[in-house]
Amino acid sequence: MQIPQDAQKVEVEGATVDFYKFQKDKDSYYMFDTSRCGPPEPMVNAMAGLKLVTNPHTKLIMINHKKPMGLLNKIEENFNIEFENLSDGNVKLTFSYKEGESEKAELDDAACHG
């Protein structure tokens, strides 16, 4: 995972991997890497990180070894999600706020159901 030079490590409640925060233009980005983690860590960390996405100027970047379908099925209605296949075979997901929907997300249920 390429961490921007100006990124700072931050504590995220419930996370089991390192999270980093950086600014780009007017937006705040949080990022984490679960590409070397097995279930349920990608789900647990994504749910912890998504709690930070509370407005249109905050985004969450997840690096994972594949598309986390259990996570996507659970929150796809609540957040905008962009996907990028990386040259190392991993997937980069960028989650952003969806007006009127992100507030409805059930982020305390981090169980993976496929």
Nearest to 34 by CA among 50, 59, 17: 17
111 in a structural domain = no
Digit-coded pLDDT (tens) for 45-68: 999 999 999 999 999 999 999 999
Does residue 1 fall inside a structural domain? no
pLDDT value for 40: 93
Residue 33 belongs to a domain with what CATH number?
A: 3.30.110.40
In a domain, 109, yes or no: no
The answer to whether 66 and 95 are in contact (CB under 8 A) is no
Q: Evaluate whether residue 88 is within a structural domain.
A: yes
> How far is the C-alpha of 1 from the C-alpha of 77, rounded, in Å?
27
Task: Look up the domain containing 42 and give its range.
Answer: 8-104
Cα distances (angstroms) measured from residue 28 to each of 31, 33, 87, 112: 10, 17, 25, 27
Give how many domains the chain has, as a whole number: 1
Residues 14-26: pLDDT tens digits? Answer: 999 999 999 999 9
Residue 112's pLDDT is what?
59
* pTM for the predicted model, two decimal places: 0.94
For residue 2, tell me if it sits in a domain: no
Domain membership of residue 47 (yes or no) is yes
Task: Measure the CA–CA gap between 32 and 9, rounded to whole angstroms.
Answer: 10
- Tell me whether residue 110 is in a domain: no
